[in-house]
Amino acid sequence: MKDYDVIIIGAGAGGVFLSYELTKLNTSCKVLMMDKGAALEERICPIKAGKTEKCIKCSPCHIMNGYGGAGTLSDGKYNITNQFGGDLHEYVGDDTAMELMEYVDDVLCSFGGSDAKLYSTANSDLKRKCLQHDLHLLDAKVRHLGTDRNVKILGKIYDYISKKVDIRLRTTVDTVEKRGDRFVVTDSDGNVYSAAQVVLATGRSGSKWISKVCRSFGIQEISNRVDIGVRVELPAEIFKHITDEVYESKIVYQTRQYNDRVRTFCMNPYGEVVSENTNGIITVNGHSYADPKRHTNNTNFALLVTNNFTEPFRDSNEYGESIAKLSNLLGGGVLLQRFGDLVKGRRSSERRMKKSFTVPTLKATAGDLSLVIPKRQLDDIIEMIYALDKIAPGTANDDTLLYGVEVKFYNSNVPVDDHLETSVKGFYAIGDGAGVTHSLSQASASGVYVARLLNEMYGQ
């Protein structure tokens, strides 16, 4: 058994910044960070490598797992705001949450992110235009690093923290137990580690695992939500007047038909659509690069409908998974449909797709999303597209492409206090894995926050 003071399970944004801050503070404690995914240089999706056209369900998925976490290969977009991206401010306070996110931005800039433009929705004429059409633009500052720059920055941070922190990748944690005043962590190879403090930082892809661990400690999770929708792809010119000004526009719309809320998410100017594997289920996402040479002619973004559930139903993720599984069943992975075909009630065929003026950036199966997405959510999405067409004419063109499904799984909230510590002393839960955050900025900030608390405990 190898002994540590702190074990971090998960090397995503939260785990990386927790490790960074402990290293910077030169904390006396001995730290181990573990992740089931690969090293940064090994995280190569077979689709991107040109070895296959469709997801072959690598286990674990290189897009979702490994050093840097799911945010590594997904655009490198850091939103500095309390208005969306999680509820960290509810635990640490509004001012502290913003200060932590600003600090994360400073760190990223110090490692090579200073060349990336910092966008802002403040004083934007777009907000007025949105309000005129019953759309609501949320306030945020956005640092867009781009997938390429993001990978380089994370590599530099790895070099920095590896001098002090032990990092074990391609290591799956099986069990976490409490024995006396120490935790015992066992991996799938039978290796055993112990620590006085354990921090769960597994991200969304670890949702099922973290639920199992919480049950073993008698921690009752709080049911969360699931967001279901599509990834929209259209010519970049249609949203250019918006993306050039604010880059990431978080726009919320309340539908007239059902009074549901639909929002834009993860906007990628001149980007590409990608598939990702979450617990064996293929869903869709998007990203873009900082390097203009890698730009496409398209912009993509998600349209998501939030689904909150009441008793007796408890498992919101299972609901989202069942819809994604149906898409996988019908399309062998991701389904693709022209907006014009959807509103006309007809399936997009390969023949119709070849006539499309918008060329898809992801190889997907032409099909009919109405056979997959429930009518209520699909009606919400269609209504939102027509609403967006008023501020970005052309959004509702027949050749606008819809990929399905996009599902944002949220861990059930792990009950934690204002130190992000669970009811089990020395057992912390941070980032998206705790259901506390839903974004790179907030997940990173939560890691910094706990690192500073641990530093007070151990000192130098």
Tell me the pLDDT tens digit for each residue of 14-41: 999 999 999 999 989 999 999 999 999 9
pLDDT digits (tens, 9 = 90+) for 285-309: 998 988 899 999 999 999 999 877 7
Backbone angles phi, psi at 452, to 5 degrees: -70, -35
Lowest-pLDDT range, 65-69, 135-139, 329-333, 357-361? 329-333
Average pLDDT on 314-335 reads 85
3-class DSSP state of 187: strand
pLDDT at 281: 85
Residues 360, 243 share a domain:
yes
Domain annotation covers residue 82: yes
Residues 80, 146 share a domain:
yes
- The CATH number of whichever domain residue 9 belongs to comes to 3.50.50.60
Domain boundary among 386, 409, 432: 409
* Residue type at position 430: I
Give the pairing type, strands 225-235 and 251-254. unpaired
Residues 433, 394 share a domain:
no
- Indicate the helix (H) or strand (E) that contains 319: helix 316-331
Across 61-65, 133-137, 225-229, the highest mean pLDDT is recorded for 133-137
Name residues whose C-beta falls within 8 Å of residue 460's C-beta, 6 or more positions apart in sequence: 25, 26, 27, 28
pLDDT at 201: 95
Domain boundary among 392, 409, 426: 409
Average pLDDT on 173-181 reads 95
pLDDT at 68: 94
Query: What percent of the chain is modeled with pLDDT above 70?
Result: 97
Domain annotation covers residue 45: yes
Domain annotation covers residue 22: yes
pLDDT at 314: 67
Residues 311, 437 share a domain:
no
Residues 45, 99 share a domain:
yes
Residues 214, 287 share a domain:
no
Domain annotation covers residue 379: yes
Number of domains the chain is built from = 2
pLDDT at 253: 97
Residues 258, 208 share a domain:
no
Across 104-118, 198-212, 308-322, 400-414, the highest mean pLDDT is recorded for 104-118
Domain range enclosing 35:
2-122+140-221+413-458
Average pLDDT on 188-202 reads 96
pLDDT at 224: 63
Query: Is pLDDT above 70 for 140?
Result: yes
Residues 441, 423 share a domain:
yes
What is the C-alpha to C-alpha distance for residues 386 and 392, in angstroms, rounded to an integer? 10
Name residues whose C-beta falls within 8 Å of residue 296's C-beta, 6 or more positions apart in sequence: 236, 270, 271, 272, 361
Q: Which of 61, 85, 83 is nearest to 73 (CA)?
A: 61
Domain annotation covers residue 129: no
Residues 309, 290 share a domain:
yes
- Indicate the helix (H) or strand (E) that contains 387: helix 375-388
Residues 175, 117 share a domain:
yes
Across 70-79, 86-95, 137-146, 197-206, the highest mean pLDDT is recorded for 86-95
Q: How confident is the model at residue 67 (pLDDT cuts 50, 70, 90)?
A: very high
Domain annotation covers residue 171: yes
